[in-house]
Amino acid sequence: MKTRVAVVYGGRSGEHEISLLSAEAVIAAMSPDKYEVTRYLIDKEGHWSPRAIVPEPGGNPEIDVVFPVLHGTFGEDGTVQGLFELADLPYVGANVLASALSMDKDVMKRVCREQGLPVVDWMVLERDGEGSAAADVAAKLPFPIFVKPANLGSSVGISKAHDLAELEAALKLAAEYDRKIVVERGIEGREFECGVLGNENPAASVPCEVLPSREFYDYEDKYELNLAKTVLPPVLPADEIVEMRRLAVECFKAVGCSGLGRVDFLRETATGKLFINEINTLPGFTAISMYPKMWEYTGIPYGQLIDRLIELAMERFEQKKATRFTR
């Protein structure tokens, strides 16, 4: 019997186009001997075609498992995962809570700090906060300072401020995208990414280094310029790679992730210290995306990675069945 997989893709997010590419790559890699794929395309306005998943148990008899290939808002943030829970369907990737908290750059850091994991110094501001926000921030954090909307991706709304005037402009920009703004100490150094795969006993891939072509890895660099480079395996001492992989697994566990996650790091050149920057619960999955490339390098080719993710979704669903929801 073939496994009937619903691939949900597109989405009401700035990463709609990337999702289309990721989904085509995922579908192309699913062996037709093993899988029967149904497409659920969500357009930029949030409408599903040819039909939507029904939010009721038993309401989707044509689906064995859902593979959400969505990035960013309404896809990676727990919202669509809530629908799969209501529908009582197995799905690939993080659950509602892990998705939502990983999306929030403040909550995610708090959870990591609670576990003793290294994150950069940061502060949170409210969009409509009182008084001289920029001066308050500058009194507490050294420049350069990164300013980010708390819940977004693709570097949208993110600025690197070098002085008070830039900081004021950066806060204004970030406030257009979120009520909650995260400001962070800027790390002068290098950037790395590490793939994680599994449920209870997750494993980390060989990491890679990302070399932005600009001052930081901004939207243009990610999607338009095509000049950023990646180095796999990274040029780093072996013990630092081991430590990065350990931290990636610890971060994955700390946020309660399942299936897959890509943990991104900043390494401060002056101190050699590693900081967890963020975890992406549905990282890019195109044929040239780093998550599958890192796993391929580590020994799991793209097709097998898909098989494993579907298995992990089924496993977690079976475990959940042992849970009582009523007296």
Q: Extract the tokens encoding 79.
A: 């919202």
Q: CA separation (Å) from 304 to 79, 96, 218, 259, 295?
A: 28, 25, 32, 13, 10
- Closest contact distance (angstroms) between CB of 28 and ligand ADP is 26
Q: Are strands 3-10 and 65-69 parallel, antiparallel or unpaired?
A: parallel
Helix pair 96-103, 107-114: axis angle to 10 deg: 110
- Closest contact distance (angstroms) between CB of 135 and ligand ADP is 20
The DSSP call for residue 60 is -
Per-residue string for binding with ligand ADP, 175-214, x by CB under 6 A?
---------x-xx---x--------------------x--
Stretch near ligand ADP under the rule CB under 6 A, chosen from 56-64, 147-155, 161-169, 246-254: 147-155
Cα 64 from Cα 107, distance rounded (Å)? 33
Q: Which is nearer to ligand ADP, 14 or 292 (CB)?
A: 14
Cα 75 from Cα 240, distance rounded (Å)? 33
Q: Which is nearer to ligand ADP, 184 or 250 (CB)?
A: 184
DSSP 78-104: SHHHHHHHHTT--BSS--HHHHHHHH-
Q: CA separation (Å) from 129 to 108, 138, 183?
A: 22, 16, 14
Q: Is position 250 an interface residue for ligand ADP (rule: CB under 6 A)?
A: no
Per-residue string for binding with ligand ADP, 278-297, x by CB under 6 A?
x-------------------
Q: Please tell me which residue in 209, 264, 277, 289 is annotated as part of the active site.
A: 264
Q: Please tell me which residue in 4, 106, 154, 296 is annotated as part of the active site.
A: 154
Would you call 324 a catalytic residue per the annotation? no
- What are the catalytic residues? 15, 154, 223, 262, 264, 278, 280, 284
Sites of contact with ligand ADP (CB under 6 A) = 120, 146, 148, 153-155, 158, 184, 186-187, 191, 212, 216-217, 264, 266, 277-278
